[in-house]
Amino acid sequence: MTLIRIFFVLACAVSPAQAGDGHDHDAAPTAAAVFSAPRFAAASAHFELVGVAAGSRLTLYLDRFDDNGPVAAETIELTLNGRTLPLDSPAPGTYAATLPAPLGPGHHPVAVRFSAAGIAETLTGTLELTPAPAAVQHSHAHDWRAYAPWAGLVLTGALLAVLRVYRLRTRHTGDTA
């Protein structure tokens, strides 16, 4: 019985392996999704223009520089990559173009010509699209220290088994004299 108690005490004393950063095997915490659509901006003394690309749509927001109020352009024309695209106006100061094909990674020059409040302007910018990041691969190699407590437990059990056999042999041969 004594060996079993010793084994139990030693087994409780061995701490379980502690996982290192990124090796905890729990469900990964959900990070807040931060998504920023590709965009460009241009400004003049009178106007500000922001363009946002989302899939096959390019939305333009045209505002007055001094008070950030939306600008209802009398005429407006979008040129993207040297190609003129038609625009709709779903809301005052908002203009949208449907792209013939989604834009690929790279630099896409944009020019917007418009007239509003008797002022004719051309605002230019570059829409930069980056390629999607490559998937990160994690190696799942553990350091030897991750397994050391379990190895200690196994070795302790083996040592106790050897001691028990030794005690049994000495008890049978050592008692008769």
pLDDT digits (tens, 9 = 90+) for 112-164: 999 998 999 999 999 998 876 665 565 666 677 777 777 778 888 888 888 88
**Mean pLDDT of the chain, nearest integer:** 80
Residue 94 vs residues 19, 60, 62, 71, 174: alpha-carbon distances, Å: 52, 6, 6, 8, 100
> Which CATH number among 1.10.1740.10, 3.40.50.2300, 2.60.40.1220, 3.40.50.300 corresponds to the domain 39-129?
2.60.40.1220
Question: What φ, ψ does residue 172 adopt, rounded to 5°?
Answer: -75, -35
Stretch 21-38: mean pLDDT:
58
Has residue 168 got a pLDDT over 90?
no
Confidence of residue 14 (pLDDT cuts 50, 70, 90): low
- Claim: this prediction has a pTM higher than 0.85: no
Residue 24 or residue 148, greater confidence: 148
Q: What is the model's pLDDT at position 8?
A: 60
Q: Which percentage of the chain shows pLDDT scores above 90?
A: 44
Confidence of residue 50 (pLDDT cuts 50, 70, 90): very high
Instruction: Take residue 31 and report the two structure tokens written for it.
Output: 């990070």
Q: What is the model's pLDDT at position 24?
A: 55
Query: Judging by beta carbons within 10 Å of its beta carbon (0-12, 13-18, 19+), is residue 126 exposed, middle or buried?
Result: exposed
Stretch 94-116: mean pLDDT:
92
Stretch 90-97: mean pLDDT:
93
Stretch 51-75: mean pLDDT:
93
Query: Hey, CA dihedral for 170, 172, 175, 177, is it positive or negative?
Result: negative
